Amino acid sequence: MSLRQRLLRLSRYLGASGPPRRLWWPPSLDTVSSVGSWRGQFSRSPAHWNQVVSEAEKIVGYPTSFMSLRCLLSDELSNIAMEVRKLVGTQHPLLTTARGLVHDSRHNLQLRGLVVLLISKAAGPSSVNASCQNYDMVSGIYSCQRSLAEITELIHTALLVHRGIVNLNELQSSDGPLKDMQFGNKIAILSGDFLLANACNGLALLQNTKVVELLASALMDLVQGVYHENSTSAKENYITDDIGISTWKEQTFLSHGALLAKSCQAAMELANHDAEVQDMAFQYGKHMAMSHKINSDIQPFIKEKTSDSTTFNLNSAPVVLHREFLGRDLWIKQIGEAQEKGRLDYAKLRETIKAGKGVTSAIDLCHYHGNKALEALESFPPSEARSALENIVFAVTRFS
């Protein structure tokens, strides 16, 4: 059975229809700059995000849309996918995650792997140490760096699956039968562990202890960041519990930036680049990931069509900045005014936040991290791969 046939078969199992397609950004952010723009200055003929991804894939010579599917379509996970069908009709988040992996998602699940491949090609082989463990090179990228990109995607996908575990104590009748939700949790744990096990096996095959250390520390950062997010949201007073933007940035790096930053650094290590190049790759991954996260946080406040019932994270960048500008007392007052019958009116609170300085400050912060990512690329020689990395930054820092 061909890869396409297996994808279509798996998508039907999960309740999806039609062929797999790549959708990452909402329509309002589908425009990015052409090659050659710099520091937020965009060309007059912007392209769609999926075109940028397609062009970048041509540069690296690898369809990253299917990067982690080699593992996802193994016999073990194919059997799990058939079991996931039992969750159809429930509200278990594992079903949404599984659909997104093979059919449609608002977020590009392969973005991290693509960036690792692009920065590997942009840096090229080391000019100081030409020996790279006799790895094959295809399209300017070592085979070990391609393996690293797949490992990065496996870790990220495993985290998404594990985050789909439901708190059974907070179930509502509309979520589905208790036994189905329990079953979904078991599948989420087992399949996430399976992906992590494959990632660990791939890391061992690279036979580079520093790379193993980098990815292991990135995984530790991810767990620490997610644990903090969950513990914060579990507090009864998290609505009024204020954190500063500096604390928010530290926590966001752990949960959203560490994996990409350390994967980019590991890619340089595999090519025997010196510490300076490794640090520049780390800085690009860090600041690009931060821009990406801030951009997604801003979306609920700038979309033209937003449902009144649409919620948003009260610890997102615009809210944290808005809260910091106001001070705790005024923030508590606004929260009280936005509550009706004990429930928070997100539509009313959204308009209140939009009227303040939080959203515009978040946009400025996104641009700041974007510029820092572009600065990190200055040490790399001009190339198509570097231009593609610049265009990715332009995409996640554009709001019009």
pLDDT for 235-263, tens place per residue?
544 565 667 888 899 999 999 999 999 99
Give residue 278's pLDDT.
96
Q: Residue 163: pLDDT above 50?
A: yes
Digit-coded pLDDT (tens) for 293-344: 999 999 888 877 666 567 788 889 999 999 999 888 888 888 888 887 678 8
DSSP one-letter string for 264-329: HHHHHHHTT--HHHHHHHHHHHHHHHHHHHHHHHHHHHH-SS--TT----TTSHHHHHHHHHH-HH
SS (H, E, C) 118-175: HHHHHHCCCCCCCCCCCCCEECCEEHHHHHHHHHHHHHHHHHHHHCCCCCHHHCCHHH
Q: Residue 38: pLDDT above 50?
A: no
**At a CB cut-off of 8 Å and minimum separation 6, what does 276 contact?**
379
400 or 5: which carries more pLDDT confidence?
A: 400
Mean pLDDT of 158-165: 82
Q: Residue 397: pLDDT above 50?
A: yes
318, 359 contact by CB (below 8 A) = yes
Give residue 302's pLDDT.
86
Give residue 374's pLDDT.
96
The Cα–Cα gap between 291 and 286 comes to: 9
Q: Residue 205: pLDDT above 80?
A: yes
Mean pLDDT of 360-375: 96
Digit-coded pLDDT (tens) for 173-183: 666 777 777 87
Q: What share of the chain in percent tops pLDDT 90?
A: 32
The Cα–Cα gap between 253 and 248 comes to: 9
66 or 49: which carries more pLDDT confidence?
A: 49
Give residue 127's pLDDT.
72
Q: Residue 96: pLDDT above 80?
A: no
Give residue 70's pLDDT.
53
Give residue 364's pLDDT.
95
Q: Residue 349: pLDDT above 50?
A: yes
49 or 268: which carries more pLDDT confidence?
A: 268
Q: What share of the chain in percent tops pLDDT 70?
A: 66
Give residue 13's pLDDT.
41
Digit-coded pLDDT (tens) for 211-226: 999 999 999 999 898 8
Q: Residue 7: pLDDT above 60?
A: no
pTM for the structure as a whole: 0.78
Mean pLDDT of 366-372: 96
Which of 71-75, 87-91, 184-188, 288-292 ranks highest by mean pLDDT? 288-292
Would residue 38 be called left, alpha or beta, if left means φ above 0 and alpha means ψ between -120 and 50 degrees? beta
Give residue 103's pLDDT.
45
Q: Residue 8: pLDDT above 60?
A: no
Q: Residue 31: pLDDT above 50?
A: no
Mean pLDDT of 353-360: 91
Q: What is the mean pLDDT of the chain?
A: 76
CB atoms within 10 A of CB 51: 13
Structure tokens at 300: 């609920």
pLDDT band at residue 396 using 50, 70 and 90 as cut-offs: confident
Which of 47-51, 93-97, 166-170 ranks highest by mean pLDDT? 166-170
